[in-house]
Amino acid sequence: MSASGGTKNTNTESWGGFDDNIIIQGSGSAVIDMENMDDTSGSSFEDMGEMHQRMKEEEEVTAEAAATEEETGEDGEFLGMKGLKGQLGRQVADEVWQAGKRQASKAFNLYANIDILRPYFDVEPIQVRNRLIESMIPLKMIAFPQKVAGELYGPMMLVFTLVAILLHGMKTSGTVIREGTLMGTAIGTCFGYWLGSSSFIYFLAYLCNAQITMLQMLSLLGYGLFGHCVVLFITYNVHFHSLFYILWLVIGGLSTLRMVAVLISRTVGQTPRLIMCGTLAALHMLFLLYLHFAYHKIVEGILDTLEGPNVPPIQRVARDLPNVASAVVNATVRSVAAVVHSQ
């Protein structure tokens, strides 16, 4: 195994390299540090990637050393300084490129891996339907923690449905958005509410020591939007104010009660329960109120009737809907105004 003279350096060098590799492999992979195991990554490829990279680097270092030794140690064939640097330079550049590519693909596999989200989408249609119906049924047992499904398919589909319904409402109410687009506003509102509200309530839950995870909070609030979708779908098409208020109380109230019951069952202490449930109820009901009135078809008649003829009309541009619908709306609004005035 020792270098036998200067006859065939290459063979002994390659044998030596092979030995070195075995030694390095043995020392590198003998112990796996359990501390570094990451739950979220499927195969702790950070560890594997590091070990692999270390092994590759050792191999490349020895290969480079072998190459340089070949160049310098070859009998009678002296390539000259230029040939030496050219080959070395190319090899170094190649290794740098390989290392960079490895790093990039490692980072990509780590962060852009959608398989991280895969377990949250593992549902059957029957389960989604059952959860939609259950989101309107408040359960009375608050003695022990109620089960909350941790899935993201239902909530996401509900948020997109809400976006579609909101678009419909904005178009029929003749809303003109100045700085931005209709679509952007709708998506921003709905996703902003879902994510922002969930984060805020999760933060309160952290303060009040409630037993609920972020995923469960997202899921709970997302399914609570089912009531919103139903109410808005009905009231964007049938413009009766009293109907909206009844639906707001009944359907909004039911879904709020369900979410509140789940939270109460997972919190101890009167004050924390009050804080969290009060905030959740307020956000939920006020959001529905906001969605209805911000994009509601405003007819100039309502302002004239309620506040007097001196108020200038709002700068809204009406779209050309069939005259039938607007006649119905006008009649409704005047009757409601008359009721309000009489009280």
Tokens 């065939």 correspond to what residue?
8
Between 52 and 171, name the residue whose CB sits nearer to other proteins: 171
CB of 180 to other proteins, least distance (A): 7
Binding segment for other proteins among 31-39, 122-130, 241-249, 272-280 (CB under 8 A)?
Answer: 122-130
Decide if residue 43 touches other proteins (CB under 8 A). Answer: no
Dihedral sign from CA coordinates of 249, 250, 252, 255: positive
Closest to other proteins by CB, 176 vs 207, is: 176
- Compute the least distance from the CB of residue 102 to other proteins, in Å: 23
Q: How far is the CB of 168 from other proteins (least distance, A)?
A: 6
Which range binds other proteins by CB under 8 A, 18-26, 91-99, 157-165, 218-226?
Answer: 157-165
Q: Which two tokens stand for residue 6?
A: 């200067």
Q: In angstroms, what is the minimal distance from the CB of 335 to other proteins?
A: 25
**Residue among 80 and 125 whose Cβ is closer to other proteins:** 125
Q: What is the 3-state secondary structure (H, E, C) of the chain?
A: CCCCCCCCHHHHHHHHHHHHHHHHHHHHHCCCCHHHCCCCCCCCHHHHHHHHHHHHHHHHHHHHHHHHHHHHHCCCCCCHHHHHHHHHHHHHHHHHHHHHHHHHHHHHHHHCCHHHCHHHHCCCHHHHHHHHHHCCCCCCCCCCCCCCCCCCHHHHHHHHHHHHHHHHHHHHHCCCCCCCCHHHHHHHHHHHHHHHHHHHHHHHHHHCCCCCCHHHHHHHHHHHHHHHHHHHHHHCCCCCHHHHHHHHHHHHHHHHHHHHHHHHHCCCCHHHHHHHHHHHHHHHHHHHHHHHHHCCCCCHHHHHHHHCCCCCCCCCCCCCCCHHHHHHHHHHHHHHHHHHHHC
Based on CB atoms, which residue is closest to other proteins, 81 or 117? Answer: 117
Determine the interface stretch with other proteins among 55-63, 94-102, 174-182, 224-232 (rule: CB under 8 A).
Answer: 174-182
State which of residues 46, 168, 191, 279 lies at the interface with other proteins (CB under 8 A): 168
Residue from the set 107, 183, 268, 339 that interacts with other proteins by CB under 8 A: 183
157 in contact with other proteins (CB under 8 A) = yes
Residue 160 in the binding site for other proteins (CB under 8 A): yes
Which of the stretches 152-160, 210-218, 255-263, 286-294 binds other proteins when contact is defined by CB under 8 A?
A: 152-160
- Minimum distance of other proteins from residue 175's CB (angstroms): 11
Rounded CA-CA distance 257/157 in Å is 22
Binding mask 299-318 for other proteins (x = CB under 8 A): ------------------x-
319 counts as binding other proteins under rule CB under 8 A: yes
Residues at the interface with other proteins (CB under 8 A): 114, 117-118, 121, 123-125, 128, 153, 156-157, 160-161, 164, 167-168, 171-172, 176, 178, 180-184, 317, 319-320, 322, 324
